[in-house]
Chains A and B, each alone.
Chain A
C-alpha cells in the first residue's frame, strides 16, 4: 500500500495576500479572481495550459464559509476546466494536503495524468455569512459563550504549559523563527522583524493565547499542479516527488469521550507517511507545519516524534531557522503569509516545493532533499484538531 514516487509536483502558484475590504471603499477582489490568478501562476510555472486539464484532475479546497455547497464545480466553471475527476477538499485546513494525497492516488490508479489543485478565499472583501455550525458546536459549545477556535486552543495551550512547564520562551522560539523566515520571503505579509519580547508582549486575545500566537486571515489564492512521473519528464521544472502520504481524521487518544487533547492526529498520519517514504527523522531536512497557532506547531514537532512529549530541552537547544538543525516554516507559515480560509494549507506545500527545487532564495535550506508537510483542519468538540494529513516530498527518486 504505497503511492511513493507515483506523482510529481510540476507547478506552483501563490498570489500575494492582502486584507483589502477591511476598510470601507477599498478596492477589492473576489475569491474567483484570486483562484484564477493562482491557477495562472501555477500553469505558467509548469509550462502547461488550460487545455492540458480537460478530462483531468481538479481539486478545490472548500472554504469554511463557502458561498454555496457546489463550490468545486463553480470553480471548474470559473477556470474553464471540464475535469474528468473533481474532488473537493472537505478536511478544512488539511484540505490541500488531503487533495494532494487523493490526486496522487488518482494518478497512480491511471484515472488521470495531471491534476490541478486550487484554493482561494477573500474573507475581507466578500462576506459569505457565518456559515452553518456543526451540531456539536451549536448545541454543546456556543451556548456557553465560546469564541471560536481561540477559546479551544487557549485551553490546549494552558494545559500543555501546566503539564510540562512549557513557557512563552519555548513557544516564542517557534514564532520568532517563523517571522525571521517571513522577513526573507517576498510573498510574506508580515515582514517586520519580531523579537521574543515582541511575542511575549503581544496582546492577550484568549488567555494564554496572544495575538502573535494566531494565524492571520487574509485574501489570497494558491495552487499547484501534479503529474505522473512519465508526464513530468517533458515539463520544465525540477521534479519534486510525492514520497509518502498519511491522513487521520477524527483521531482519538484514549477514550473517545475524553481523548488526550495534547496529542494530534499527525502522530499517526506522520508515521504512515514516513514509513511509506522510507525516511527516518534524520533524513528530513525541513518541516512546513500547518500553523493556525504557534502551540499547534509546537505539538506537531512532538507528535511527529522529533522529540518526546514535554521535552523542553529539545526546544531550548534546537535551531529552527533555515540554517539550523531542524528548519521549520521556512516561508513564514500562514501566521505570517496569511490564511485565505482553507486555502491557507496550500502554502506549506508550495514552500516545500520551492525549497526542494532550490528556489528558496535568501532562506534556502542548504542541500534540501526531503521535506515534511502537514495540513490540519476542523476543531471538533472536546478535542484537538480533527483532520490531520502529512505528505513527504523529495527531489530524488
Chain B
C-alpha cells in the first residue's frame, strides 16, 4: 500500500496567539494574565474572560504542573491528517494543570506510556514542529 503523504496539522498563528509562539520558539511558556483581576486567561484571547478587561498581558509561567488526566492513543481515526500521527503510536494525550492554574491539552513525553499517572509532576519541554512552531509538551519532573 502506498504511503500516505500527510504531515501533522499545525496551529494557525493568529494575531492573539503570535506572542505565545514567539516565546515558545525561545523555550519560554507564557500565558495571558489579566492586569485588572489577576485571572489567568487561556487559551489566548483579546480580553479577560473573567472580568472583560482588555488589559491582558503575556506572562512567563513556571512550566511546571501535574497530570489531571490522560488517554493513550493506540489507533488513529477520523480526519485524513490523523494518519500523520501513526508513527508515534502509542502516545499520551493529557490534560496538564499548570502550577499557576490553567489546564493545557498536551502530550506527555520522555517516559513509557505505562508510567504516566494522574497527579504525576511534569515540566515543559518544547518540541520543534516547524520553523515557527515549537509545541509545549511535558515530561516527568
Using CB atoms and an 8 Å cutoff, list the residues of chain A in contact with chain B: 130, 135-136, 138-148, 150-151, 154-156, 158-159, 162, 204-209, 255-259, 261, 381-382
Q: Which residue of A lies closest to B94 (CB)?
A: A155
Interface centre among B74, B102, B105, by most chain A C-beta atoms within 10 angstroms, is B105
Q: How far is the CA of A158 from the CA of B93 in the complex (A)?
A: 12
Q: How far is the CA of A311 from the CA of B82 in the complex (A)?
A: 38
Q: How far is the CA of A91 from the CA of B70 in the complex (A)?
A: 27
Known: A146-B93, A148-B78, A158-B69. 10 other contacts (CB 8 A): A139-B43, A140-B104, A142-B9, A143-B133, A145-B8, A146-B105, A148-B77, A206-B71, A256-B39, A257-B39
Using CB atoms and an 8 Å cutoff, list the residues of chain B in contact with chain A: 8-12, 14, 17, 31, 39-43, 49-50, 68-82, 85, 88, 91, 93-95, 97, 101-107, 118, 129, 133, 135, 137
Residues of A within 8 A of B42 (CB): 257, 382
A-B contact list, 28 entries, CB within 8 Å? A130-B80, A139-B17, A140-B104, A142-B79, A143-B9, A143-B129, A143-B133, A144-B93, A144-B137, A145-B82, A147-B75, A147-B76, A147-B77, A147-B82, A155-B93, A156-B69, A158-B70, A158-B71, A158-B118, A204-B74, A206-B73, A207-B72, A257-B31, A257-B39, A257-B101, A259-B103, A261-B68, A382-B43
CB < 8 Å neighbour of A255 from B9, B50, B70, B73: B50
Report the minimal beta-carbon distance from B42 to chain A, rounded to whole angstroms: 4
Whether the pair A147, B78 counts as a contact (CB closer than 8 A) is yes
Whether the pair B11, A143 counts as a contact (CB closer than 8 A) is yes
Residues of B within 8 A of A261 (CB): 68-69, 95, 103
Residues of B within 8 A of A151 (CB): 71, 73, 93
Q: How far is the CA of A150 from the CA of B129 in the complex (A)?
A: 24
Residues of A within 8 A of B85 (CB): 145
Residues of A within 8 A of B77 (CB): 147-148, 150
Residues of B within 8 A of A150 (CB): 71, 77
Q: How far is the CA of A143 from the CA of B24 in the complex (A)?
A: 15
User: With contacts A138-B11, A143-B8 known, is A255 near B69, CB below 8 A?
Assistant: no
Q: How far is the CA of A150 from the CA of B101 in the complex (A)?
A: 25
Residues of A within 8 A of B73 (CB): 145, 147, 151, 206
Report the minimal beta-carbon distance from B3 to chain A, rounded to whole angstroms: 18
Q: How far is the CA of A151 from the CA of B105 in the complex (A)?
A: 11
Interface centre among B69, B88, B118, B137, by most chain A C-beta atoms within 10 angstroms, is B69
